[in-house]
């Protein structure tokens, strides 16, 4: 599979945790196994139109996730993500506080939103359609997220990492997030359509030796 043999390049981050990545390609068979999402190098974000004219962007700061990769049989792959909705961050505490109320996430009553995959289908060499159940406020609906595999590499600590980017657009009212306000000029304050973005770094779990 071509995507699992892509050559990686040296990279870095603000904390300097991943200063240099192994530039050698990683064979697909080496990627078979279980993974854990590295929250320190992963972003789960969203974007929504505000007042019909601007885009508000935000992210969730607290989450965890696991994945199972099977390069030879993508349909056997799977992913699960759990997000603390109270960790929402749009850069405005007033707005974030509103998002935590019953108008939106009702964080005290429904502290988590989850995504659990039900099917994985290869679209092309680098893209996979991951279909799963997205649950928000105890409402579960199917969504499909198109993920692109950015590559794989060994970090300086010997961890095998795989990078993914994905996005999808959902209608928030399907999950009971219906609050809105009508504008005098027409339209509404908050768009019903929300774009979800995923920039994921996953670390392979090495089985413990006996």
Percent of the chain with pLDDT over 70: 85
Q: Please say if the pLDDT value at position 14 is more than 50.
A: no
- Tens of pLDDT along 128-147? 999 999 999 999 999 999 99
Quote the pLDDT of residue 124. 87
- Tens of pLDDT along 16-34? 443 334 444 444 447 899 9
Contact 38, 65 (CB under 8 A): no
Reduce the secondary structure of 42-86 to three states and give it as a string. Answer: CEEEEEEEECCCEEEEEEECCEEEEEEECCCCHHHCEEEEEEEHH
Q: Please say if the pLDDT value at position 202 is more than 90.
A: yes
How many angstroms separate the CA atoms of 2 and 7, rounded? Answer: 10
- Tens of pLDDT along 92-130? 999 999 999 999 999 999 999 999 999 999 998 889 999
Phi-psi sector, 62: left (phi>0), alpha (psi -120 to 50), beta: beta
How buried is 24 (Cβ within 10 angstroms: 0-12 exposed, 13-18 middle, 19+ buried)? Answer: exposed
Q: Please say if the pLDDT value at position 9 is more than 80.
A: no
- Tens of pLDDT along 71-87? 889 999 999 999 999 99
- Average pLDDT value for the chain: 86
Question: All domains of the chain, ordered by start, with CATH?
Answer: 2-204 (2.40.128.110)
What's the predicted TM-score (pTM) here? Answer: 0.83
């Amino acid at each position: 599979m071509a995507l699992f043999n892509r050559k990686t390049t040296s990279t870095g981050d603000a904390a300097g945790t991943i200063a240099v990545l192994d530039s050698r390609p990683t064979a697909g068979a080496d990627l078979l196994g279980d993974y854990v999402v590295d929250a320190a190098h992963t972003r789960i974000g969203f974007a929504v139109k505000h007042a019909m004219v601007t885009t508000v962007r935000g992210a969730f700061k607290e989450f965890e996730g696991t994945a199972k990769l099977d390069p030879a049989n993508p349909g056997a792959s799977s992913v699960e993500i759990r997000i603390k909705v109270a960790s929402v961050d749009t850069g405005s505490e007033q707005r974030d506080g509103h998002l935590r109320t019953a108008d939106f996430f009702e964080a005290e009553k429904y502290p988590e939103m989850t995504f659990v995959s039900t099917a994985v289908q290869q679209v092309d060499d680098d893209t996979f359609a991951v279909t799963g159940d997205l649950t928000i406020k105890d409402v579960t609906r199917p969504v499909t997220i198109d993920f692109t595999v950015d590559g794989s590499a060994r970090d300086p600590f010997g961890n095998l990492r795989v990078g993914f980017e994905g996005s999808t657009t959902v209608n928030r009212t399907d999950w009971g997030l219906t609050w809105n306000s009508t504008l005098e000029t027409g339209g509404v304050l908050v768009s019903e359509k929300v774009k979800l973005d995923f920039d994921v770094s996953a670390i392979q779990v090495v089985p413990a030796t006996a």
